[in-house]
């Protein structure tokens, strides 16, 4: 990735400061107090910084996932 420098402070910008996205969650509770969940976080904003206002054509988005196992006392 080509670095983008802020003209005022000459600092390198690695990504844009704000993100928005969607969360997905699916779970199941078994007999016997056990449970399982799958979740995913999908970033919808392109966080790739612009180089002096010019678009680079590449995309940088946040993505995460998780697995959760549980037991109820």
Q: Report if pTM > 0.75.
A: no
What pLDDT is attached to residue 63? 93
Q: Provide the domain limits for residue 42.
A: 4-71
Between residues 10 and 18, which one has the greater pLDDT? 18
The whole-angstrom separation of Cα 68 and Cα 39 is: 8
The predicted-structure confidence for 33-69, as pLDDT tens digits, reads as follows 999 999 999 999 888 877 666 666 778 889 999 999 9
User: Is 39:66 a contact under the CB 8 Å cutoff?
Assistant: yes
Q: Which two tokens stand for residue 53?
A: 């206002």
What pLDDT is attached to residue 43? 92
What pLDDT is attached to residue 59? 82
Number of folded domains in the chain?
Answer: 1
């Amino acid at each position: 990735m080509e670095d983008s420098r802020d003209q005022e402070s000459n600092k390198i910008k690695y990504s844009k400061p704000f993100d928005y996205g969607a969360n997905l969650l699916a779970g199941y509770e078994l007999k016997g107090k056990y449970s399982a969940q799958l979740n995913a976080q999908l970033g919808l904003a392109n966080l790739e910084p612009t180089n002096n206002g010019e678009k680079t054509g590449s995309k940088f988005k946040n993505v995460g996932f998780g697995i959760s196992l549980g037991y109820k006392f």
